[in-house]
Amino acid sequence: MVRHHNHTIINIILSLTTISFLSHTIHAQDKPLILSCGGSPAKDADGRNWDPDEKFLSAGAKSIAAKSDVQDPSLPSEIPYMTARIFQSEGKYQFPIKDVKSRTMLRLHFYPPSYPNFNISKSYFAVVAGGVTLLNNFSASISAEALSQAYFIKEFFLAPLDSPTLDVTFTPAAGAFAFVNGIEVLPIPAIFDSDPALAGTVGAGADGADQR
Ligand SMILES: *[C@@H]1O[C@H](CO)[C@@H](O)[C@H](O)[C@H]1NC(C)=O
Ligand SMILES: *[C@@H]1O[C@H](CO)[C@@H](O)[C@H](O)[C@H]1NC(C)=O
């Protein structure tokens, strides 16, 4: 919803300035991926559409789609939190990146209360994105306890990849499992970097996520 709003503002600026090369940049930009892991296509409580994660899993990744058996009253929405993708061995997502020069914001949603047949206190894992280790020996359960929150979001800004694919790998520690409830892959258009005047105009409050 925020992105949509942002695009509207960009389009208004473009129609005022009629700079065609910028228009080209924007059309080449990726659409955000908003994925409910282990889920099916659904809208969240805010009316945002979430897609299943399955088609982005690399071939050979062994995983389980699970549904939580506890719904915490603090959850803002069942989507994406009540379903999860669980990995008992290394699992990799491959996300297409159209504009290899754009930065990417990766948002990981975690809701660690309880999944049938899995003991959440045995979940420790690493997350590597585009070759960069984002989380290591990570326990979503311990993090949630530390935050006194049932669910939380981890947000990462990734430098331009110069690659048409963003690989995100979940690797459980020995004897442990990894899981994730939701993944968002949001391109940050290169115009925010290359044209400070425009970035100032567009960035002002239009997208709280892009704080640089
Ligand atoms: C889950 O694992 C922890 C740590 O190994 C253990 O103390 C606890 O009893 C286990 N819970 C269940 C329900 O098996
Ligand atoms: C992972 O973190 C847990 C809890 O903080 C700790 O007990 C364990 O030793 C750590 N494992 C590794 C391999 O660092």
- pLDDT of 46-78, one tens digit each? 999 999 999 999 988 789 999 999 999 999 999
Q: How far is the CA of 140 from the centre of ligand 2 (A)?
A: 13
Report the pLDDT value the prediction gives residue 66, as an integer from 0 to 100. 96
Q: Could you tell me what percent of the chain has a pLDDT over 70?
A: 75
- In CATH terms, 31-189 corresponds, of 2.60.40.10, 2.40.110.10, 2.60.120.430, 3.30.2130.10, to 2.60.120.430
Q: What angle do CA 166, 197, 200 make, to 5 degrees?
A: 70
Element (H, E) at 119: none
CA distance 41 to 44: 10
Which residue's CA is minimally distant from atom 6 of ligand 2? 137
Ligand 1 in reach of 122 Cβ (< 6 A): yes
Look at residues 179, 16, 158, 200 and name the one whose alpha carbon lies nearest to residue 82.
179
Mean pLDDT throughout 123-138? 97
For the cut 90, the answer to whether the pLDDT of residue 34 exceeds it is: yes
Q: Which of 123, 124, 125, 145 to mutate to test the pocket of ligand 2 (most atoms within 8 A of CB)?
A: 124
Report the pLDDT value the prediction gives residue 161, as an integer from 0 to 100. 86
Q: pTM above 0.75?
A: yes
3-state secondary structure labels for all residues of 41-97: CEECCCCCEEEECHHHECCCCCCEEEECCCCCCCCCCHHHHCEEEEECCCEEEEEEC
Q: How far is the CA of 120 from the centre of ligand 1 (A)?
A: 8
For the cut 50, the answer to whether the pLDDT of residue 91 exceeds it is: yes
**76 vs 99, more confident:** 76
Look at residues 102, 121, 124, 101 and name the one whose alpha carbon lies nearest to residue 113.
121
Q: How far is the CA of 101 from the centre of ligand 2 (A)?
A: 36
